[in-house]
């Protein structure tokens, strides 16, 4: 799909934010562990993506109740839903000067339209060596979900089924969408939040 940046300034996709707090000592420690000057931007992105995808559990998959938002908290507790996992991936990559934004899909919350819809978060990464944005989804794999790192053909966790009123939003946001941050800040039980309070549209 044709992606649209919400700002013309690529530097906006490198900003440190409350949610993307890459100066935090925990983040800095992980950065030091993962990255070195000999790696290409693509190699760095693959390492970071696979870590967030595989080492940070998706709360619904493990039925964990903790709600986190900031990248450092996600790293500390190693669990959260896609909204906060995308903050961590953005934090790791922005620390390396790799522009990283936020993208969204509208998906069925469970398996039928009658059970409602939710907004799903993923990231878009700009590779200067390729001069293009690539969407990556670090939600976490399980049976039926197989998101992979690919710079050629997207392999996301979910394909939007337009016949069921699902959709891909084309905008790459420099900041996490306010609706996703608000829901994380307003709840203390992620399972209750996931079932009943996720935004259904942007």
% residues pLDDT > 70 (the chain) = 100
Q: What's the rounded Cα separation, in Å, for the pair 31 and 192?
A: 33
pLDDT at 145: 95
In the predicted model, is pLDDT for residue 83 greater than 90? Answer: yes
The whole-number average pLDDT for the span 120-134 is 97
Distance in angstroms (rounded) separating the CA atoms of residues 127 and 83: 22
What percentage of the chain has pLDDT greater than the value 90? Answer: 98
Residue 111 has what pLDDT? 84
pLDDT of residue 1: 82
- Which pTM was predicted? 0.97
pLDDT in tens, 46-58: 999 999 999 999 9
Residue 175, pLDDT > 90, answer: yes
pLDDT at 154 over 90: yes
Please compute the mean of the pLDDT values over residues 11-26 and round it to a whole number.
Answer: 97
Whether residue 151 is predicted with pLDDT greater than 90 in this model: the reply is yes
Count how many Cα atoms sit within 13 Å of the Cα of residue 12 in the half-sphere of its side chain: 12
What is the overall mean pLDDT for the chain? Answer: 96
Q: Can you give the pLDDT at residue 163?
A: 95
- The C-alpha atoms of residue 109 and residue 133 are separated, in whole angstroms, by 27
Fold of 4-196: C8orf32 fold (3.10.620)
């Amino acid at each position: 799909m044709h992606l649209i940046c919400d700002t013309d300034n690529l530097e906006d996709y490198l900003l440190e934010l409350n949610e993307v707090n890459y100066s935090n000592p925990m983040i800095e420690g992980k950065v030091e562990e993962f990255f070195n000057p000999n790696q290409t931007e693509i190699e760095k992105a693959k390492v970071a993506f696979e870590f967030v995808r595989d080492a940070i559990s998706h709360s619904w998959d493990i039925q964990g109740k903790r709600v986190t938002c900031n990248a450092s908290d996600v790293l500390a507790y190693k669990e959260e839903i896609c909204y906060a996992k995308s903050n961590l991936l953005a934090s790791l990559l922005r620390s390396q000067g790799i522009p990283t934004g936020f993208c969204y899909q509208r998906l069925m919350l469970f398996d039928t339209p009658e059970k409602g819809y939710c907004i799903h978060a993923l990231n878009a990464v700009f590779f200067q060596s390729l001069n293009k944005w690539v969407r990556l989804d670090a939600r976490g794999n399980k049976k039926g979900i197989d998101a992979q790192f690919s710079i050629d053909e997207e392999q996301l966790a979910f394909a939007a089924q337009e016949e069921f009123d699902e959709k891909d939003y084309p905008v790459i946001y420099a900041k996490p969408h306010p609706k996703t941050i608000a829901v994380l800040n307003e709840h203390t039980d992620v399972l209750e939040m996931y079932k009943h309070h996720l935004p259904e549209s942007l």
